[in-house]
Structure 1
């Protein structure tokens, strides 16, 4: 397993409230997953290479738990719950642990990269990233509009 760090922090800031921290966590996860999928595709012909992935289901389950925990707090600041796959790193962001894709058929080059699966994952990941980016932009546009109205 490899540790990958995520760039976002929110504890104790204006941006720790509302939907923006959730969107940012999704963007961080999708960015790291994009890097891994691209790495898998780049190594499709590398002997003995084993494809890696980030466990999307684990991340989403943890994100839902974190949102539920925030909803039950008196001060509703979002803090990501961590487990063995998603952990807190030194700068307050999240890190992710990669997993080898197990049970895959090895190719003649003793690698298990299925280019069709990886390209499908890459396309899906890209669409999800675009969606989350649009949501983040709408959040910032709303904040900008609110600041202009009060100034």
Structure 2
């Protein structure tokens, strides 16, 4: 059975997949916008570093984008997804770098990933429910 740490990892992964979905759909919505630069979400590498115990090296330190924001810490060490410019994109004559085929492929992969995460999470809560109800007596 999953413990609270693993549930938090699943939650963070689902949040990253949701952010990735929004980022990809934003890229697709701007496919004909001149000078639009596509973005991507970086998360899995950070998560792998966390799972390998490399948290606390300073690479994943929490930061505030504005000093008026509520301070927080990475005491839990959970990887945060990052939205960055797409470095491997081909710029068209209009200055736009959105590639329809690449974006739709990434969207499909992300939907499959999110579906798997929701199934894992639902399975955990179903097992928990079974235990609470007495194991199916």
Number of residue pairs matched by the alignment: 124
Instruction: Indicate the RMSD between aligned Cα atoms, in angstroms.
Output: 3.0
Aligned to 1:37: 24
Normalised by the size of structure 2, how large is the TM-score? 0.74
* Change in 2 beyond 3 A, CA 1:86/1:46: farther
Is 1:16 aligned to residue 4 of structure 2?
A: yes
Q: Name which of 101, 124, 128 aligns with 2:113.
A: 128
> 1:141 and 2:129 equivalent?
no
Match of 1:61 among 32, 45, 48: 48
Contiguous gaps of at least 5 residues in structure 2: 65-69
Which structure's CA Rg is the greater one? 2
Counterpart pick for 1:101 among 86, 100, 104: 86
Q: 1:142–1:35: structure 2 CA closer, same or farther, 3 Å change rule?
A: same
TM-score normalized with structure 1 length? 0.68
What is the distance in 1 between the residues matched to 2:57 and 2:8?
15
